[in-house]
Amino acid sequence: MGIASSARPILITGAGKRIGLALAQHFLAQQQPVIISYRTRYAAVDSLEQAGAVCLYGDFSSNDGIEQFADAVKQHCSGLRAILHNASAWLAESPDVSPAATLAAMLQIHVHAPYLLNLHLESLLRGQGHASADIIHFTDYVVERGSDKHIAYAASKAALDNLTRSFARKLAPEVKVNAIAPAMIMFNEHDDAQYRQKALNKSLMKIAPGEQEIIALVDYLLSSQYVTGRTHAVDGGRPLR
């Protein structure tokens, strides 16, 4: 069953775990309608569905899959409050995978998907008034400094960062478009103590702040009537180390 035409959901891509999941839970708790994309049906996706989210399968590994997902979103609502581009993959260069395949995969998820979804869903964001809709791209701290082990990943996130400014120009003043560039936000369960301490030492603030830091920034950006075309670093002062 689709979302009522009078309500404008927030679309969150890749919301089956970690920050995407936390954002979906946050908005549902505020009675804000949510649509999420998932590729793997984690148990958390079932929980989001039970809480009222519309959970749509999306395979962003091909342009056809991206366009099919956009069509599915259009079938469930007549307008969107925001698109949060959280879906991501973190592939390193490896002798087991051709460099061309690694680069293609990173560009597909981090560039093709946001670019095509923004264009295909533009009509759902427009028509609601001044600064009434948002797009937020999740980039990465490595956009500033590069990465010797994740070259294609860093390059694709840099391209996404640039898309932020282009879409801000295209969609203003109806739609604000911003990027969030995090460094260490939260650990994985399997991260050992040595790795955790090494990671913490890379920032001035010496903590992994958790998903609430991102949620607070997203709330700010959605509430702003003026901020657009900017990249917002959430890195604990890491560039100053």
Q: How far is the C-alpha of 33 from the C-alpha of 163, rounded, in Å?
A: 26
Backbone phi and psi for residue 11, each to the nearest 5 degrees, phi listed first: -95, 125
Cβ atoms of 210 and 185 within 8 Å: the answer is yes
Calculate the dihedral angle through the C-alpha atoms of 124, 53, 134, 150, rounding to the nearest 10 degrees: -110
Q: Which of 181, 154, 192 is nearest to 235 (CA)?
A: 181
Q: How far is the C-alpha of 214 from the C-alpha of 35, rounded, in Å?
A: 19
Q: How far is the C-alpha of 111 from the C-alpha of 141, rounded, in Å?
A: 17
Among 38, 57, 153, 226, the active-site one is: 153
Q: Which of 42, 178, 185, 169 is nearest to 114 (CA)?
A: 178
3-class secondary structure, 37: strand
Determine whether 220 is an active site residue. Answer: no
Q: If you search the block for the tokens 């260069």, which residue do you land on?
A: 93
Cβ atoms of 106 and 60 within 8 Å: the answer is no
Catalytic machinery residues? 153
